[in-house]
A = this chain, B = another copy of it.
Amino acid sequence: YKTVDIYGKKVVIVWPDSEAEKINDDSIEISTKVKRPFPLASNEWKKEPTKIKVKDVEIGGEKVVVAAGPCAVENEEQTLTVAKAVKRAGASLLRGGAYKPRTNPYSFQGLGEQGVKILKKASDETGMPVVTEIMDTRDIDVFKTVDMVQIGARNAQNFNLLREVGKLGKPVLLKRGMANTVEEWLQASEYILSESNGNVVLCERGIRTFEKSTRFTLDIGGMIAAKTMTHLPVCADPSHPAGKRELVHSLALASVAAGADMLIIEVHPHPEVALSDSEQQLTPESFEVLMNRIKAVVSALGRKV
């Protein structure tokens, strides 16, 4: 048995639930009726949607939250320029990569701790909380200053990292691994929740399929299927699956129309010279156009940005 402090309750996890009958202590709340392999993340147990606060930004409520910023933090000026532009256009969170998981060892690997400092500075100047990716359990201390910690697709089943981020207690943006089923993704979130950290947003970022006209296949159906099984908010990342700028708008609009609670979008002042993902980052101008369209769609469906 494992006892977890979560959502203001003490919960004893009994899974598989066939063993639940062995517990005879009536004073504890037991997740006996959970059939799914992610008892804490399942909405069998907790029926009301979870709202997550990243400083004063609420994810999972009426408002659709947009996090925007550069794929990689390259320097202070670039980051601050983008931060101001995306804030002006309506973004609520600043996202940017300091530690970068790159397929090739000879590609630009990010600024690391220095990048996190730059993000914090841009956050202080603009008032937007920061979300950025962690790649290594040894870096956990660096992330104590960050507002929301991202687990990237390539670490989506790095279980030790999931546990450590759970213990850290910060809100987590958990990307789905590119080959993970919805059920595996929800079990990955369970690693964080079972460390008594209930502040997880599930982020769909595209899965690996045979189709190559896009970089990945954004699985909007899978994102919504997840939402039917969990109380956690869901987010879409349209930039990585699009791979090309002209598709980012369509995938972003599709995601919010389907019911995403959050979007994460790459914006760069000069995408053509970006040190990574130059094909898919939007200019600030294009991002502003997109934000206006997002606002229109979201408002047509009774939500706000």
Is B225 touching A214 in the complex (CB atoms < 8 A)? yes
Question: In the complex, what's the smallest C-beta–C-beta distance from A17 to chain B, in angstroms?
Answer: 11
Q: Which one of B13, B102, B190, B251 lies within 8 Å of A221 (CB-CB)?
A: B251
Q: Which of A20-28, A65-73, A205-213 contacts B (4 or more CB under 8 A)?
A: A205-213
With known contacts A257-B257, A297-B297, A221–B194 Cβ distance under 8 A: no
Instruction: Answer yes or no: A116 CB below 8 A from chain B CBs.
Output: no
Q: Select A13's contact among B106, B184, B241, B257, beta carbons within 8 Å.
A: B106
| Cβ-based interface call for A222 (8 A) | yes
Of A47-55, A174-182, A269-277, the one touching chain B: A174-182
Chain B CB within 8 A of A45 CB: no
Taking a contact as CB atoms closer than 8 A, the residue among B207, B208, B257 that contacts A253 in the complex is: B257
Interface size on A, residues (CB 8 A): 72
Which of A74-82, A89-97, A151-159 lies at the interface with chain B? A151-159
Residue A250 is within 8 A (CB to CB) of chain B in the complex: yes
Copies of this chain present in the complex amount to 4
Chain B residue at minimal CB-CB distance from A163: B105
Is B158 a contact partner of A158 (Cβ separation < 8 A)? yes
Q: In the complex, A293→B303 CA distance in Å?
A: 13
Closest residue of B by beta carbon distance from A160: B136
Please give, as numbers and ranges, the residues of chain B lying within 8 Å of A226 by CB-CB distance.
213
- Nearest to A158 among chain B residues (CB) is B158
A104 within 8 A of B: yes
Query: Is A173 interfacial (CB 8 A cutoff)?
Result: no
Is B105 a contact of A190 with CB atoms below 8 Å? yes
Apart from A135-B159, A209-B209: 20 A-B pairs, beta carbons within 8 A: A13-B106, A37-B104, A101-B159, A103-B157, A104-B187, A137-B137, A138-B160, A177-B179, A178-B179, A179-B210, A182-B211, A213-B222, A214-B221, A220-B251, A251-B258, A253-B258, A253-B301, A256-B257, A293-B301, A297-B297
Sample (13) of A-B pairs whose CB atoms are under 8 Å apart: A13-B106, A38-B104, A103-B157, A105-B191, A135-B158, A181-B211, A206-B221, A208-B210, A209-B209, A211-B221, A214-B219, A220-B254, A297-B300
Task: Sort A-B residue pairs by CB-CB distance and give the 4 closest, nearest first.
Answer: A179-B179, A257-B257, A296-B300, A254-B254
